[in-house]
Amino acid sequence: MSRLGFNASDFTQDWAILPMGRGTTLLDPTLDLCSANYASESGRETRRQVVANREKSPYLFLSTEAVKYKSVAAAEAALAELKKNYELCVKNKGGTENGIFTPYSFQQIPSSNAKLVDESNRVLVRATIGTGQTARQLLAFYQYRGAYFTGLYIVLNGEKPISDSEVLRWFDVAAVMAERLNQKQ
């Protein structure tokens, strides 16, 4: 699992790559996009989520997550559930959790030649979550292959969407995650 997400060798020495609190347990959800509940979480076998931090980082949250599901069918169920909840979130312009609606505003994802997993096995998200002072930007790459999943999550504070040029740079990182995922098979 440690080879699927961020590794210390992916960054310069001024970055710290650390397991996220409870990031090696199944206590926290893998899929929580748009405040949705995911029944497929019960299909996970192992999980590893790490965060990348450094002093004066522009990112509120920068993380990768790797999950091994109990079976290929369990991973496929998770992907199907993610796609369904994403489509509902786009349609409803947000999601509700514990009775509280969180607005999402989705932006177009620029075209890239980066080699990610097949389009049918991924979900890419570029969105503004919330409004005003609580707004944050999300760029997420959810990629599945066989019984495995990798997620790449980039979150910034503010209402200004992540620029196209930065999105394209993160596509290159997502391609590295896809290559690692493909080597797992």
The predicted-structure confidence for 97-122, as pLDDT tens digits, reads as follows: 778 899 999 999 999 999 999 999 99
Q: How far apart are CA 179 and CA 185, in angstroms?
A: 10
Token pair 């890239």 is found at: 112
DSSP state of 39: G
Say what the pLDDT of residue 185 is: 59
Q: How far apart are CA 162 and CA 158, in angstroms?
A: 10
Q: Which long-range contacts (CB under 8 A, 24 or more apart) does 93-96 make?
A: 94/34, 94/35, 95/33, 95/34, 95/35, 95/36, 96/35
Of all residues in the chain, the percent with pLDDT exceeding 70 is 99
Supply 109's token pair.
């994802």
Question: Mean pLDDT across the stretch 7-24?
Answer: 90
Question: Mean pLDDT across the stretch 69-87?
Answer: 97
Supply 123's token pair.
């979900």
Between the two ends of the chain, the Cα-to-Cα distance in Å is 12
Q: What is the DSSP string of 75-144?
A: HHHHHHHHHHHHHHHHHHTEEEETTEEEEEEE-PPPP-----S-GGGEEEEEEEES-GGG-EEEEEEEEE
Question: Mean pLDDT across the stretch 42-62?
Answer: 94
Token pair 């514990």 is found at: 98
DSSP state of 185: -
Q: How far apart are CA 28 and CA 133, in angstroms?
A: 26
Q: Residue 179: is its pLDDT beyond 70?
A: yes
Query: pTM value?
Result: 0.95
Residue range 143-172, pLDDT digits in tens: 999 999 999 999 999 999 999 999 999 999
- 141: pLDDT confidence band, cut at 50, 70 and 90? very high
